[in-house]
Structure formats: structure tokens, C-alpha cells
């Protein structure tokens, strides 16, 4: 009875309850794996009954897809600022790398779910993760295009450059997250230098007033 009364006292708006459930499910998936995480465990960690859990998410797969979508959108949003028109390309690189590592540090479980977890559980989950990673490449591609003379460089070369940059950041961030061999700043600075060495070979976009 006391447990039920506590749940009544902790009643939250639907949006907040949904977040609590997703947080609990994410921790369970990372800790136990998708198949090992039980809906009973998720309900208990979220401090809700199973009927309430199923009211928000009819299945464990629905939970997984919602978590993937949330993690992907959080990562995407972290990379959208500042506006490219307001900073030079070196500043943009530094911000993107720092934002990526901020996401890894603050949302490690979400990052692991996208990049370091075997999601060979359902084709929908695999497709969703592929969409997220492709979206990040598209975002970086647009950033590179903004600073590049697109008349002098074929579109496919810019796109492949974006693929290389994203892959480099992903693998470096994973290494830092797993091993922490060196301070985060060392990883970040090495990435900034590596990205700059690649991008400096692309002819800069011509702008009014002669600025690059």
C-alpha cells in the first residue's frame, strides 16, 4: 500500500514520465543487452507499474526505437551550433569536436547504444541507427561545403571527406570512452589537427570582401 501511495505522490506529466521510462530502459539495455533487459526490470527502475509502462510503450522494441531516436536527435542538436555563417572553419571544427565529446561524456549510454552496442536485434533498429549516422555525415557534408569552393571540388569528393571526418571522430571518441588513456583534451586537439590537415587541402569558398 505504501509503495502505491508513493507512486501516486510521484505522478508526473506524461512527457516527464516518458523521459523517466526511457532513461531507465536505456540503462537496462546498456547493462543487460536488449534481450537480457526485462520489461519488469525497466518498470521497476522507472518506478511505474507494467500497465503504465505498456501504455507508454507497447513493446520493448518501441522502447528501443524511441531511445535510438532520442539519442540521435540529441547528438544532431549538439552539432548544429554555432551557425556556420558566424565562425571561421577552424572554430567550427573545434566546436564540432567539443560538442561531440560533450555528448559522449554527458550521454555515454546513448552514445554506446548508437555506436558500441550490438543492435542485431531487429531490422528497424539497424535502419534507425544507419539513418542517424548517415544524418551526421550529411550534416558534416553541408558544413564542409559551406567552407569549400564547390565549383572547384566535385560533390562526391566533399561527401567522402565528410565520411572520413565522421569516421575519424567516431573511432577516436570510442577509444577515449573505453580506455581514457589520455586526457579528453588530448584526444580533442588531435582530432582538430587531423581534421584541419584534411580540410586545408580543399580550396576555400570565395566570399565577398576576399575573406575565406
User: What does the pLDDT look like over 175-184, one tens digit per residue?
Assistant: 999 999 999 9
pTM: 0.85
What is the grid cell recorded at 47?
Answer: 518506478
Number of domains in the chain: 2
pLDDT tens track for 148-199? 999 999 999 999 999 999 999 999 999 999 999 999 999 999 999 999 999 9
Give the side-chain half-sphere CA count within 13 A for 43: 16
- Compute the distance between CA of residue 74 and CA of residue 57 in angstroms, rounded to an integer: 20
In a domain, 211, yes or no: no
Half-sphere exposure of residue 59: CA atoms within 13 angstroms, side-chain side: 5
Q: What is the mean pLDDT of the chain?
A: 89
Neighbours of 209 (CB within 10 A): 4
Instruction: pLDDT band for 113, please (50, 70, 90 cuts).
Output: confident
Q: What is the DSSP string of 82-96?
A: S-GGGS-HHHHHHHH
User: Quick one: CA torsion of 117, 19, 103, 138, rounded to 10 degrees?
Assistant: 80
DSSP 20-40: HHHHHHHHHHHHH-TTT--HH
User: Which of the two residues, 39 and 119, has the higher pLDDT score?
Assistant: 39
Query: In terms of residues, how long is the chain?
Result: 212
State how far the Cα of 91 lies from the Cα of 102, in Å rounded to an integer.
16
Q: Give pLDDT tens digits for 121-152.
A: 678 888 998 999 999 999 999 999 999 999 99
What's the pLDDT band for 112 if we cut at 50, 70, 90? confident
Is 2 or 61 the better-scoring residue by pLDDT? Answer: 61
Answer yes or no: do 107 and 177 share one domain: yes
- Asked if residue 212 is part of any domain, the answer here is no
Ranges of beta strands (E only) in 68-136 are none
Same domain, 20 and 82: no
Question: Cα separation of 196 and 203, whole Å?
Answer: 13
Q: Name the residue with higher pLDDT: 85 or 79.
A: 79
Question: Which domain range does residue 48 map to?
Answer: 2-58
User: Does a structural domain hold residue 128?
Assistant: yes
Is there a domain that residue 164 lies in?
A: yes
Instruction: State residue 34's pLDDT score.
Output: 86
* Residue 24 to residue 110: CA distance in whole angstroms: 12
Instruction: Mention every residue, 6+ apart, whose C-beta is less than 8 A from residue 23.
Output: 46
Residue 12 counted as domain residue = yes
Q: Residue 118: its pLDDT value, please? A: 65
Is 185 among the domain residues? Answer: yes
Same domain, residue pair 93 and 113: yes
Give the Cα separation of 193 and 90 in Å (integer).
Answer: 9
Amino acid at each position: 500500500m505504501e509503495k502505491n501511495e508513493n507512486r501516486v505522490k510521484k505522478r508526473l506529466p506524461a512527457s516527464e514520465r516518458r523521459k523517466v521510462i526511457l532513461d531507465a530502459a536505456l540503462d537496462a539495455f546498456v547493462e543487460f543487452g536488449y534481450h537480457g533487459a526485462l520489461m519488469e526490470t525497466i518498470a521497476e527502475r522507472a518506478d511505474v507499474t507494467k500497465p503504465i509502462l505498456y501504455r507508454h510503450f507497447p513493446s520493448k522494441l518501441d522502447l528501443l526505437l524511441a531511445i535510438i531516436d532520442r539519442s540521435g536527435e540529441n547528438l544532431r542538436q549538439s552539432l548544429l551550433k554555432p551557425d556556420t555563417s558566424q565562425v571561421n572553419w577552424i572554430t567550427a571544427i573545434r566546436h564540432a569536436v567539443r560538442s561531440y565529446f560533450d555528448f559522449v561524456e554527458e550521454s555515454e549510454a546513448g552514445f554506446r547504444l548508437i555506436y558500441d552496442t550490438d543492435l542485431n536485434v531487429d531490422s528497424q533498429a539497424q535502419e534507425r541507427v544507419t539513418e542517424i549516422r548517415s544524418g551526421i555525415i550529411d550534416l558534416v557534408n553541408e558544413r564542409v561545403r559551406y567552407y569549400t569552393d564547390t565549383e572547384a571540388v566535385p560533390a562526391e569528393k566533399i561527401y567522402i571527406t565528410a565520411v572520413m571526418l565522421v569516421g575519424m571522430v567516431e573511432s577516436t571518441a570510442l577509444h577515449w570512452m573505453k580506455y581514457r588513456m589520455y586526457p579528453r583534451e588530448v584526444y580533442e586537439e588531435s582530432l582538430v589537427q587531423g581534421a584541419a590537415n584534411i580540410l586545408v587541402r580543399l580550396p576555400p569558398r570565395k566570399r565577398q570582401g576576399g575573406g575565406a
